[in-house]
């Protein structure tokens, strides 16, 4: 019997700015931080149903990496939702309000971890994943010669489908199809497990440290990455990843995860608007990787405008240190809402026309939509000093259509009251020389971003 033929990943495959950053200026307006799973993490082997899928989506799997960049082609997907009997979909990443519906995918926090999978009993009946129906109907779970075959695999994807496997069985594993005949028992391969002896068997599994780990992590930029949206991915991890911190202005700042793609984060540069970066990584135990090792790298030359490839590897140098600057938290704003996920296949934003209001208070502001996708988009705002002396600060205001909210912003401090947005300069870009300009940007959620009543005042 065939397993699932469709993947449950929709937006996590897209290299679109779910959050945005600009050098030291990252200001994440995270209204509702992604929740952590309520499903207990297995510390001993657990048993669940197993299905298979053909491979990761293009260009990315749910963890934010192309399939070719995985450490192994033996990979699994974990359940996004834990909603027994219900195939209802909820916005991803799941908010704290929906934490009780969260599966062991854990909003991407189990990405990049290894699991040791052992083959269990064969189903002699019907195991079709129908909601509200028992697994292995009109039959029984039966031990056979394939029991106890094992294989080490990596978490690379998410299972969000509306079937009983992905919803009713919290310990279900979705295995890459090409791995099914690579299990080994007592040192001997089992090349004929699939298809004749499969039937969505039981498996037992548990998280393990990366087997025979050596070397160091790998860092790469995603399609569309640029100095103002440096989206990157971390792989080749010894024990998964729970966070990335970047150094900006002498302070370590927690980078926002790129949606729920658990190995992808949007970092900031060491100086505002720059292309040099310094990061450190936290593993699945929330401990700093390798005692706080720091990784310094630059935006690759191939990404001088923006990265055109799905993955562009960065070359880094490392620094080990016992004394590090103090971490800081992302700035929050209220009210607003998280950007909506997209099913679009568009990978990078394109430019559109801008609005340029008349000078007000010694400055003008021009709003340009730089990208859009289903449920949201991105815009830049250029502030120009029209006076004869440098400014010491500036404020931009405009009104958005009903239903549109700011999801994140950079290079400005944002507040939203109803549909009116007020942006005040950051501490480092309030001074603008005569006839010079600076810019800030935002990610919005909702349709039809167009703005009205744009005004700018300078101090």
Render pLDDT for 158-215 as a digit per residue (tens, 0 to 9).
Answer: 999 999 999 999 999 999 999 999 999 999 999 999 999 999 999 999 999 999 999 9
Give the domain ranges of the chain. Answer: 35-208, 218-328, 354-458
Q: What pLDDT was estimated at residue 8?
A: 34
Which of the given ranges, 93-97, 172-176, 361-365, has the highest pLDDT on average?
172-176
pLDDT digits (tens, 9 = 90+) for 4-21: 433 333 333 333 443 333
The pLDDT confidence band at residue 87, using thresholds 50, 70 and 90, is very high
Residue 67 or 405, more confident:
67
Q: Span 214-240, mean pLDDT? A: 96
Phi first, then psi: give them for residue 285, nearest 5 degrees.
Answer: -95, 10
For residues 28 and 330, is the Cβ–Cβ distance under 8 A?
Answer: yes
How are beta strands 354-355 and 188-189 bridged, if at all? unpaired
d(C-alpha 249, C-alpha 215), whole Å: 30
Shared fold status for 35-208 and 354-458: no
Q: What pLDDT was estimated at residue 135?
A: 95
The CATH superfamily assigned to 218-328 is Expansin, cellulose-binding-like domain (2.60.40.760)
Q: By percentage, how much of the chain surpasses pLDDT 70? A: 82
Q: What pLDDT was estimated at residue 34?
A: 59
CATH number for the domain whose boundaries are 354-458: 2.60.40.290
CATH number for the domain whose boundaries are 35-208: 2.40.40.10
Cα end-to-end span (Å), the chain: 70
Please list, in sequence order, all residues whose beta carbon lies within 8 angstroms of the beta carbon of residue 232, skipping any fewer than 6 positions away.
219, 220, 221, 222, 225, 264, 265, 266, 267, 314
The pTM of this model reads 0.68
pLDDT digits (tens, 9 = 90+) for 385-401: 998 889 999 999 999 99
Q: What pLDDT was estimated at residue 361?
A: 57
Q: What pLDDT was estimated at residue 321?
A: 66
């Amino acid at each position: 019997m065939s397993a699932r033929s469709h993947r449950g990943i929709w937006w996590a495959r897209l290299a679109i700015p779910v959050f945005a950053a600009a050098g030291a200026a990252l200001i994440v307006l995270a209204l509702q931080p992604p929740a952590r799973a309520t499903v207990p993490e297995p510390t001993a082997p657990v048993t669940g149903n197993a299905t298979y899928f053909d491979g990761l989506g293009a260009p990315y799997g749910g963890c934010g990496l192309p399939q070719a960049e995985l450490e192994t082609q033996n990979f699994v997907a974990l359940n996004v939702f834990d909603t027994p009997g219900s195939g209802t979909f909820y916005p991803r990443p799941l908010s704290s309000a929906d934490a009780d519906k969260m599966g062991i995918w854990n909003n991407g926090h189990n990405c990049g971890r290894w699991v040791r999978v052992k083959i269990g009993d064969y189903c002699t009946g019907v195991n079709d994943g129908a909601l509200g129906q028992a697994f292995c109907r009109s039959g029984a779970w039966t031990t056979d010669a394939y029991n106890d075959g094992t294989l080490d695999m990596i978490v690379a994807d998410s299972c969000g489908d509306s079937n009983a496997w992905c919803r009713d069985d919290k310990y279900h594993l979705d295995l890459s199809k090409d791995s099914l005949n690579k299990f080994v028992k007592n040192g001997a391969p089992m090349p004929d497990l699939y298809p004749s002896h499969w039937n969505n068997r039981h498996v037992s599994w548990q998280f393990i440290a990366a087997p025979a780990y050596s070397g160091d992590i790998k860092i790469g930029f995603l399609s569309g990455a640029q100095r103002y949206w440096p989206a990157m991915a971390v792989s080749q991890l010894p024990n998964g990843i729970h966070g990335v911190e970047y150094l900006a202005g002498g302070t370590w700042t927690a980078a926002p995860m790129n949606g729920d793609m658990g190995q992808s984060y949007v970092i900031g540069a060491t100086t505002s608007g720059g292309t040099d970066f310094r990061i450190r990584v936290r593993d699945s135990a929330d401990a700093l990787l390798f005692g706080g090792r720091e990784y310094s790298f630059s935006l690759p030359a191939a990404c001088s405008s923006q990265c055109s490839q799905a993955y562009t590897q960065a070359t880094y140098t490392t620094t080990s240190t016992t004394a590090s600057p103090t971490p800081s938290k992302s700035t929050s704003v209220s009210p607003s809402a998280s950007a909506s996920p997209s099913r679009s296949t568009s990978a990078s934003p394109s430019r559109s026309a801008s609005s340029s209001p008349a000078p007000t208070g010694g400055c003008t502001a021009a709003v340009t939509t730089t990208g859009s996708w289903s449920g949201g988009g991105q815009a830049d705002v250029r502030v120009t000093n029209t006076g004869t002396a440098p400014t010491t600060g500036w404020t931009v205001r405009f009104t958005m259509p009903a239903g549109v909210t700011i999801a994140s912003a950079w290079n400005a401090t944002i507040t939203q009251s109803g549909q009116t947005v007020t942006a005040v300069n950051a501490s480092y870009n309030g001074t603008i020389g005569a006839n010079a300009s600076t810019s800030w940007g935002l990610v919005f959620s909702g349709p039809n971003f167009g703005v009205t009543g744009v005004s700018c005042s300078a101090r």
